[in-house]
Amino acid sequence: MKILVAVKRVIDYNVKIRVKPDNSDVDLTNVKMAMNPFCEIAVEEAVRLKEKGVATEIVAVTVGPKAAQEQLRTALALGADRAIHVETDERVESLGAAKALAKLVEEEQPGLVILGKQAIDTDNNQTGQMLAALTGLPQGTFASEVKVEGEKVQVTREIDGGLQTVELTLPAIVTTDLRLNEPRYAKLPDIMKAKKKPLDVKTPADLGIEVASKVKLVKVEPPAERQGGVKVDSVDELVDKLKNEAKVIS
């Protein structure tokens, strides 16, 4: 079985985000970029399925600028066999990414598509669901456990009331949650080997699609700075401040 894994280039989660002075966007100048953490979990799950003998090939895919090949090489170092880069300098939203992935699913015919449930830059949690709609494939979202048996895949999902397990007929789409696994670190020999693994570059035009966003980014603002706390001498004073200053009780 072939597994298609989508990865995204985002700002490293350890980096403190800065907003441009004109509030037009996030400032990416000299900022460390990395693979989206949820995508790392997706790659790890694909590699584990291959190690179990369930999968025979892992294809890593990304949609983004030329620099995003760095994240594809990371996926190759972690265990993917080859990579496909849909190169574009456009600002790609969820639907554009889903359209590109849908075309690659049509070309590659994978038995399983694994994506992170969301990206930490936009937090949209949409691409996997949109991809399922475009391809007509069954979907299991927020996976905390994945079991492939024959032509079926069981996906355990964390819901408000506990756990829910759904069974999907392959081919299918799975989006990964945090507790699915613990991603491994790429070893130096694997990083060197990844440089020789095949990486195919396509454009949206090659796939017959447009990925330009229909959404205009109007303004980006940092969260309001937290105000310093104060000490009170009595419960009555606390209640008074909550009622008259904070106005959180009546």
Beta bridge partners of 158: 163
| Domain count of the fold of the chain | 1
Q: Which of 90, 24, 80, 40 is nearest to 193 (CA)?
A: 80
Query: Considering the domain boundaries, does residue 231 fall inside one?
Result: no
Q: How confident is the model at residue 212 (pLDDT cuts 50, 70, 90)?
A: confident
Query: Considering the domain boundaries, does residue 97 fall inside one?
Result: yes
Structural domain for 88, as ranges: 2-221
pLDDT at 227: 78
Rounded CA separation 137/167 (Å): 13
pLDDT 10s digits, 57-102: 999 999 999 999 999 999 999 999 999 999 999 888 999 999 999 9
Instruction: Please give the single-letter amino acid code of residue 152.
Output: K
Query: Considering the domain boundaries, does residue 6 fall inside one?
Result: yes
Query: Considering the domain boundaries, does residue 37 fall inside one?
Result: yes
DSSP H or E stretch at residue 114: strand 112-116
Q: Please indicate whether residue 17 or residue 48 has the higher confidence score (pLDDT).
A: 48
The mean pLDDT of 230-241, rounded to a whole number, is: 89
Query: Considering the domain boundaries, does residue 11 fall inside one?
Result: yes
pLDDT 10s digits, 169-206: 999 999 999 999 999 999 999 999 999 999 999 999 99
Pair 115, 8: CB distance under 8 Å = no
Q: Give percent of the chain above pLDDT 90.
A: 70
CATH number at residue 217: 3.40.50.620
Q: How far is CA 137 from the centre of its chain?
A: 19
The mean pLDDT of 224-249, rounded to a whole number, is: 86
Query: Considering the domain boundaries, does residue 21 fall inside one?
Result: yes
pLDDT at 48: 96
Q: How confident is the model at residue 214 (pLDDT cuts 50, 70, 90)?
A: confident
Query: Considering the domain boundaries, does residue 58 fall inside one?
Result: yes
Rounded CA separation 80/61 (Å): 10
Residue 66 CB contacts under 8 Å (≥ 6 apart), including other chains: 87
The mean pLDDT of 131-135, rounded to a whole number, is: 96
Strand 162-169 and strand 172-176: the pairing is unpaired
pTM: 0.86
Query: Considering the domain boundaries, does residue 118 fall inside one?
Result: yes
Instruction: Please provide residue 241's backbone torsions phi and psi, each rounded to the nearest 5 degrees.
Output: -70, -40
